[in-house]
Chains A and B, each alone.
Chain A
Amino acid sequence: MSWRAITEGLAEYYRAPYRQAMAREARDRDDLFRLLVLSEALGIPNPAAPYTLELMPLVWDDFHDWHRRMGMPHSPLDHIRCC
Chain B
Amino acid sequence: MNSLVLIAVGLLGILSGWFFYSRFIAARIYQLDAQFRTPAHEFRDGVDFVPTNRYVLWGHHFTSVAGAAPIVGPAIAVIWGWGPAFLWVVLGTIFFAGVHDMGALWASVRNRGQSIGGLSEKLLGSRARWMFMLIMFLVLLMVNAAFATVITNLLIQFPTAVIPVWGAIVVAIGIGQLLYRAQVGLLWPTIIGVGLLYGLILLGNAVPVALPAEIFGLSDRVVWVLLLFLYAGIASTLPVWMLLQPRDYINGIQLFVALGIIYAAALLSAPTVVVPFINDQVPAGTPPIAPLLFVTIACGAISGFHGLVSSGTSSKQLDRETDARLVGYGGAVGEGMLALAAIVCATAGFATLADWQAVYTNFGAGSVGAFVTGGANIVSQGLGIPAGLAATILTVTAALFAGTTMDTGVRLQRYVIQETGAITGIAALKNGTLATLLAIGFCLAIAFGAASDGTGGMVIWPLFGTSNQLLASLTLLMVTVILARLGRPVVFTLVPLVLVLTMAIYALLLQIGTFLGDQNWTLAIMALFILGAAIMVGISAVTALRQTGFSLLAHRHPAE
Contact = CB atoms under 8 A, between A and B. Distances in A.
Physical interaction between A and B: yes
Nearest to B49: A20
A24 interface: yes
The A interface is mostly helix, strand or loop, or mixed, namely: helix
A80 interface: no
A20 B241 CA distance: 12
Contacts of A9: 53, 55-56
Q: How large is the interface on A (under 10, 10 to 19, 20 to 34, 35 or more residues)?
A: 20 to 34
Given A17-B64, A27-B47, A11 B317 contact: no
Interface string A1-14: 00100110111111
A22 B241 contact: yes
A11 B186 contact: yes
Interface string B405-445: 00000000000000000000000000000000000000000
Interface in B35-67: 46-48, 50, 52-53, 55-57, 59-60, 64
A24 B56 contact: no
B1 interface: no
Interface string B250-281: 00100000000000000000000000000000
Contact of B241 (A16, A18, A23): A18
Contacts of A70: none
B56 A3 contact: no
Given A20-B313, A22-B240, A24-B47, A14 B53 contact: no
A44 interface: no
Nearest to B248: A17
Contacts of B50: 19
Interface residues of B, number: 28
Interface centre among A14, A17, A21 (most CB of B within 10 A): A17
Contacts of A10: 186-187, 190
Given A3-B187, A6-B187, A12 B53 contact: yes
B187 A14 contact: no
Contacts of B317: 16
A20 B185 contact: no
B46 to A, nearest CB: 6
Interface of B: 46-48, 50, 52-53, 55-57, 59-60, 64, 179, 185-187, 190, 239-241, 244-246, 248-249, 252, 313, 317
Given A7-B187, A9-B56, 17 more contacts: A7-B185, A11-B185, A13-B56, A13-B249, A14-B179, A14-B186, A14-B249, A16-B56, A17-B60, A18-B240, A18-B241, A18-B244, A18-B245, A18-B248, A19-B50, A20-B47, A22-B240
10 tightest Cβ-Cβ pairs between the two chains A and B: A23-B47, A10-B186, A18-B245, A12-B56, A7-B187, A18-B240, A7-B185, A21-B240, A14-B249, A11-B186
